[in-house]
Amino acid sequence: MYKDKTIVCKDCGQSFTFTAREQEFFAEKGYTNEPQRCKPCRDAKKGLRNNGDRNGNRQMFPAVCANCGADCQVSFQPRDGRPVYCSDCFRKMK
C-alpha cells in the first residue's frame, strides 16, 4: 500500500527516506503532514525547543525562592510579581 518516499530536509537540504512503515505509522496516528526534517535536524530542533542548545545545555537564570528565600537557578526568565520556588520547595508543594 505505502511505498518509500525520498524527501529533502527543509533545514539541511539532505535527502532522507520516509519509509512505508513510517507512513503507515503516521496514518495510524492520524498525522496528515509528511515530515519536513531528517532525523538529525528533528532531534536538534527538539533540543532547542526544550530550552537547550544542540548540545543539551540550558540557559539558567538566578532567582530567590519565594518560600524559603534561598538563592536558586531556574530554566526560565523570572518575571516581577510571579513567585519562583527552589526545587525543594516546589517539590513539597506538589
Split into its structural domains, the chain has a count of 2
The pLDDT value given to residue 52: 53
Rounded mean pLDDT for each run of 10 residues along the chain, 94 residues in total: 94 95 95 93 74 64 94 90 92 86
pTM of the model: 0.50
CA distance 6 to 67: 55
The answer to whether residues 44 and 15 belong to one domain is: yes
55 within domain boundaries: no
The answer to whether residues 40 and 66 belong to one domain is: no
CA distance 29 to 24: 9
54 within domain boundaries: no
The answer to whether residues 22 and 44 belong to one domain is: yes
The pLDDT value given to residue 75: 84
Task: Show the domain range for 39.
Answer: 5-49
Buried b (16+ CB within 10 A) or exposed e, 3-39: eeeeeebeeeeeebebeeeebeebeeeeeeeebebbe
The pLDDT value given to residue 47: 67
